[in-house]
Amino acid sequence: MSRPQASSFIAVRPLTHSGTDSDPAASPDGRSIAFVSTRDGTSRIWLKQLATGEEVAVSPGPDSAPRFSPDGSQILFLRGPRLRRIVAGFSETQTDLYRIPVLGGAARRIVSIADDADWSPDGKWIAFVRM
């Protein structure tokens, strides 16, 4: 009986050591990571180039939940929170769904009041959830 052969080596490395970063998303080509960082007091989407270690903020915040498009050209993310309504004495927050080009440009709101979202595998559709 033969053992299955590993087809590729998987490298595991920490994204940061700051303790203020979360929600990593790998680009389809594996060359960069989008993630959320609150290192400057605001929750923003950052992009890290794995080859160089260079990091740049790509959104003004407060933002969360980055997702690369299948072709790697855009990032979906949630922006908020904002007060949505008061229900039975509790406040609910609202986040809206945005997309931004990876190579720079303005963020564009896709839909109001979204709690999570992702791209379809072919990049032609965006699925989102409202709770």
Residues in the chain: 131
Using CA atoms, how far apart are residues 121 and 119, in angstroms rounded to an integer?
A: 6
**Domain for residue 110, yes or no?**
yes
Task: Using only the alpha carbons of the chain, give its radius of gyration.
Answer: 17
- Structural domain boundaries enclosing 84: 21-129
The string of pLDDT tens digits covering residues 51-105 is 999 999 999 989 999 999 999 999 999 998 754 455 555 556 789 999 999 988 8
The string of pLDDT tens digits covering residues 5-37 is 666 777 777 777 677 899 999 999 999 999 999
**Domain for residue 48, yes or no?**
yes
Domain count of the chain? 1
> Do 55 and 45 meet the contact criterion of CB atoms below 8 Å apart?
no
Residue 108 sits in a domain whose CATH number is 2.120.10.30
**Domain for residue 122, yes or no?**
yes
Q: Which of 51, 59, 63, 60 is nearest to 22 (CA)?
A: 63
**Domain for residue 13, yes or no?**
no
**Domain for residue 99, yes or no?**
yes
Q: How many CB atoms lie within 10 A of CB 64?
A: 19
Q: Which of 37, 24, 21, 13 is nearest to 67 (CA)?
A: 24
- Bond prior to 81 in cis (omega within 30° of 0): yes
pTM of structure: 0.81
